[in-house]
Amino acid sequence: MSILGTRVLRTEDPRLLTAGGTYVDDLRVPELAGAARVTFVRSPLAHARITGSDAAPLPLGGPWLEPLPAVVDLGEAMAGRTLLFPDAGSNAVSHLGVRHIDMPTTPARVWAAISQARESQ
Amino acid sequence: VKVTVTVNGGEVAAEVADRTLLVHFLRDEAGLTATNIGCDTSSCGACTVLLDGESVKSCTVLAAQADGCEVTTVEGLASDPGDMHPMQRAFRAEHALQCGFCTPGMIMAAISLLAENPSPTEEEVRSGLEGNLCRCTGYHNIVRAVLAAGEG
């Protein structure tokens, strides 16, 4: 019977249904041992001109941060920090004085938390 | 904090940070990566698992809250390797998945739904699964699969 015009069971489905797919975050291979993770905090502004950035003097390193090769500061992605564990988004901004970010975490809330922490310093 | 959870019938114990979420415990300590993290905010349902038989979004449950409990993930549904749970078979037969990202959570939510209501109407299936988002299928085939897996 031709597969054309006929409902055909997909061969990939049993694995997707019983063991799940293999997405990037599912990879458990030796090559990725100690691999860094990155969290992007996106700008709450859809379209804006960047007139200055104080990202450069951010202290790098620490128990949860690895040195950052470059801070992406163009377009939507405003600040990238490499992270060592998945829930490190708040850790990544803790050195800016941020101790708490309202849930659910949105770009606007992250930026608000950073601004608030700076004002109180 | 020391957490011991019975996951798919086997005991998993680990010393984890207090704030560790159940979904991270399942993925990183139990090594079960079928349960996906989609939104981290309880919106999408990709992380749905059964906690003592009831569906929960495991990104909103602390691992410590599951201490001493039983958790079932999609990996633990089939009784034999190579076999499938009736819900998994129905999903396949009705083409209720494409990329497969929402599928583990969708199946766990659907099983929980049928446990409460073995013969739901289409409307009840749609409202019962409204906490689970799918970007591929448009939901139609998922609803058909759950109806097929139900008692009718």
SS3 readout for A4-69: CCCCCCCCCHHHHHHCCCCCHHHCCCHHHCCCCEEEEEECCCCCCCCCCCCCCCCCCCCCCECCCC
Q: What is the pLDDT of residue A58?
A: 47
Q: What is the pLDDT of residue B24?
A: 94
Q: What is the mean pLDDT of residues A5-21?
A: 93
CA–CA dist B147, A64 (Å, integer): 47
How far is CA B148 from its chain centroid?
18
The better pLDDT of the pair B46, A117 is held by B46
With tokens 């997405």, the residue in question is: A23
Token digits of residue B110: 């659907």
Q: How far is the CA of B130 from the CAs of A48, A57, A82, B49, B127, in angstroms?
A: 36, 46, 35, 16, 5
Q: What is the pLDDT of residue B37?
A: 93
A47 in contact with B, Cβ within 8 Å: no
Q: What is the pLDDT of residue A72?
A: 37
Interface predicted TM-score (ipTM) over 0.95: no
Q: What is the pLDDT of residue B63?
A: 97
A90 in contact with B, Cβ within 8 Å: no
Q: Of A16, A26, A104, which is closest to B103 when you measure between CB atoms?
A: A16
Q: What is the pLDDT of residue B6?
A: 98
Q: What is the pLDDT of residue A53?
A: 58
pLDDT band at A103 (very low <50, low <70, confident <90, very high): low
Q: Of A17, A104, A105, which is closest to B103 when you measure between CB atoms?
A: A17
For B37, the closest chain A residue by CA position comes to A25
Using only C-alpha atoms, what is the Rg of chain A?
Answer: 20
CA–CA dist B13, B68 (Å, integer): 10
Render each residue's pLDDT in chain B as its tens digit; 152 residues. 999 999 999 999 999 988 899 999 999 999 999 999 998 788 999 999 999 999 999 999 999 999 999 999 999 999 888 899 999 999 999 999 999 999 999 999 999 999 999 999 999 999 999 999 999 999 999 999 999 999 75
- pLDDT above 70 coverage of chain A, percent: 56
Cis omega before residue A104 (within 30°)?
yes
pLDDT digits (tens, 9 = 90+) for A32-75: 877 766 666 666 777 777 676 555 444 444 444 444 443 433 33
- Cβ neighbours of A17 in B, within 8 Å: 74, 84, 88, 91-92, 97, 100, 103, 107
Task: For residue B53, give every residue at least 6 positions away whose Cβ sits within 8 Å of its Cβ, in sequence order, or none.
Answer: B70, B72, B112, B115
pLDDT band at A77 (very low <50, low <70, confident <90, very high): very low
Average pLDDT, chain A: 69
Q: What is the pLDDT of residue A47?
A: 79
Pairing of strands B2-7, B70-72: parallel
Contact (CB<8Å) B74/A20: yes
SS (H, E, C) chain B: CEEEEEECCEEEEEECCCCCEHHHHHHHHCCCCCCCCCCCCCCCCCCEEEECCEEEECCCCEHHHHCCCEEECHHHCCCCCCCCCHHHHHHHHCCCCCCCCCHHHHHHHHHHHHHHCCCCCHHHHHHHCCCCCCCCCCCHHHHHHHHHHCCC
C-alpha torsion angle, residues B71, B73, B76, B77 (rounded to 10): 110
Q: What pTM was computed for the model?
A: 0.76
Q: What is the identity of the amino acid at B61?
A: V
The better pLDDT of the pair A9, A88 is held by A9
Contact (CB<8Å) B77/A9: no
